Structure formats: structure tokens, C-alpha cells
Amino acid sequence: MFDNDERGKKVVIVSHCILNQNCVVQPMARAKGAFKIVSEYIEDGVGIIQLPCPELRHFGLGRKPMEKFEYDTPIHREICRHILRPVIKEIEEYSKYGYEIIGIVGIEDSPNCDINENRGIFMQELFKLLKEKNIDLKGYEVPLDYDELK
């Protein structure tokens, strides 16, 4: 497509709050803005795709802290699928043009964005949509004890 394409052609997909702790329910923020760990991706020339925040989209900034079972409703799952469809199209587009998608970075113990042991509702829907498209991505998590404010 371009003769002098010097892009790294690597991207990582991250939960919204990794780049914007302002969206996190009070008093759960662990950084003033973005987590500093993203600077490693930037230094390595990796592009960052920020997922939308399902909690912010569904309940707004003034929401109360909720447990995973409270998000596990048909309405919330549909909101998750709705806001994920454009993300799936982006992932397909990057894959189509040979980009390396390093994986998805979630938040350990999040009711929506936990990836591993107790997969959150949003991530359940994301991985379900990826599976429907035969896309297999690795999952990583920001550990529960990661805190830049302490």
C-alpha cells in the first residue's frame, strides 16, 4: 500500500480504564490518569486500541460499585455486545493487513474486565464474539495489587 511504511504493525487491546482511570468507580482508582505500564507499549512502538468502558456506557460516572452478578443481566450483555461490534471490525481489519495483535489486557478482579480466573461479563462477550470470527487472542491482566497511588 505505501512504499515507505515504517509502522511497527503491532497493536495491543486494553481495557478502557488502563488508559483512563477517571472512568473508574470511586474510590477504586489506582492512578491519576493512565497506568504508567502503558509506556512500555509506547516505547516498544506498539499501537494501543482502547476498549470502551461498559460500566461507564451503561451506568455513567456517578454509578455505585457493583458486583459481577449485578452486571450479569441480558440488558448489560446486549450493551456489551453492541459496543464491542466496532472493536471486532477493527480487530478483523488489523488482522487482514498482517498486523500482530499482541493480545487483550484486562483488569484482575473486575466484574467486567477480568480475563483469567473469574472472567468478567464484558470480557465474556468479547471472547465470545472473537470466537464467532475464529480469532484467538491471548489475555493478560493488570494485577489486583497494581497501584500507582500508594
- At residue 39, the pLDDT reads 94
For the record, the C-alpha cell of 22 comes out as 477517571
Backbone phi and psi for residue 65, each to the nearest 5 degrees, phi listed first? -60, 140
Strands 139-142 and 47-50: unpaired
- At residue 27, the pLDDT reads 80
- At residue 91, the pLDDT reads 98
For residue 121, the one-letter residue type is: I
- At residue 109, the pLDDT reads 94
**Residue 130 · residue 88 · CB < 8 Å:** yes
For the record, the C-alpha cell of 34 comes out as 493512565
Domain boundaries, the chain: 10-142
pLDDT tens for the chain, residues 1 to 150: 555 567 789 999 999 999 999 999 878 889 999 999 999 999 999 999 999 999 999 999 999 999 999 999 999 999 999 999 999 999 999 999 999 999 999 999 999 999 998 999 999 999 999 999 999 999 999 999 999 888
Predicted TM-score (pTM) above 0.95: no
- At residue 4, the pLDDT reads 55
Backbone phi and psi for residue 14, each to the nearest 5 degrees, phi listed first? -125, 150
- At residue 114, the pLDDT reads 97
